[in-house]
Amino acid sequence: MSKASTIFKKCVRDIQNGELIEREGRNDKEFHFQNWFQKRLEGLKLNFDSPGRNTYPDFRLVQHTEGYELKGLAYPGREADYDCNSQVPCGEHNGRQVYYVFGRYPVNPDGNSYPVLDFVVCHGDFLNADNCYVHKNKSFRGFGSYGDILVRDRKMYVAPTPFALAKGTSHRRTLILPIDHPVDDDLIEVGTLTRREVSQVVVAYSFDLRSNELETTLVANPNAGREHIFKAYRIEGDPLDPVSLREQEKVIAAQKVK
């Protein structure tokens, strides 16, 4: 039985009870939300591998084949997308089901303690249904007038957040799971979200060092039109206004070109 429902409910109840994020200082720009989430896991007495700077997902449960990738976002600020730090989002990795945990907090808090403003836990398939792609960085040497400069092809992925993908998630606490995913009986369904695969997918790209132009190669998607259906849930006592999928054109338009 997945622990996603249990972890979500624990986090939401602690938010309701005023459990604040505690940062070590203004220079703590990365781990304060991770530390807050870690305390929730410890409160549930769930064993997990300690997160490291280069581990994915951040928290890997020991007795359950699932992991949790944390994404803390300052609000107001960047909302439409987030940097995936060289790991494309997915719902399964090394045999583990992967869940993404998004939490937003004040961009300019007046101290080192501040609340979680809104919160989403979603299965990785909601962000990207392809679990087969394996990320690798490549390089070649021979660039420059003397032919001894190394060029690294270090990919960075930028994906839309659940706040951009789904209307009704801002300023709320929401759990988003595949339709056939088991959930606790006390969770309340607030929406059905259907994501549909595109007709063509990118399989390669090339970069012209003379013109600085980037070109992609597209092929037909063998799963074109396939629907992936998800359910949105909340806990009793939280607002039950509906959650719905935002039009893809609006999601893409809202993302800034990098």
* Proportion of the chain above pLDDT 70, given as a percent: 97
Tell me the per-residue pLDDT of 3-56, one tens digit each, with 9 for 90 and over.
Answer: 999 999 999 999 999 999 998 876 666 689 999 999 999 999 999 998 777 788
Answer whether residue 201 is part of any domain: no
Q: Is the pLDDT of residue 109 over 80?
A: yes
**99-103, 115-119, 250-254: segment of lowest average pLDDT:** 250-254
The pLDDT, as a whole number, for residue 257 is: 59
Written in H, E and C, the secondary structure of 168-182 is CCCCCEEEEEECCCC
User: What are 135-167's pLDDT values in tens digits?
Assistant: 888 999 999 998 999 999 888 899 999 999 999
In a domain, 29, yes or no: yes
Per the domain annotation, does 207 fall within a domain?
no
Parent domain of 107:
4-196+227-254
Structural domain tally of the chain?
A: 1
Whether residue 208 lies inside any domain: the answer is no
Q: Concatenated DSSP letters for 82-147?
A: EE-TT----SEETTEEEEEEEEEEESS-SSSEE---EEEEEEGGGT----------EEEEEESTTS
In this predicted structure, the answer to whether residue 258 has a pLDDT above a threshold of 60 is no
Residue 220: inside a domain, yes or no? no
pLDDT single digits (tens) 70-92: 999 999 988 899 998 778 999 99
Q: DSSP state, 64?
A: S
Report pLDDT for 26. 67
Q: How confident is the model at residue 256 (pLDDT cuts 50, 70, 90)?
A: low
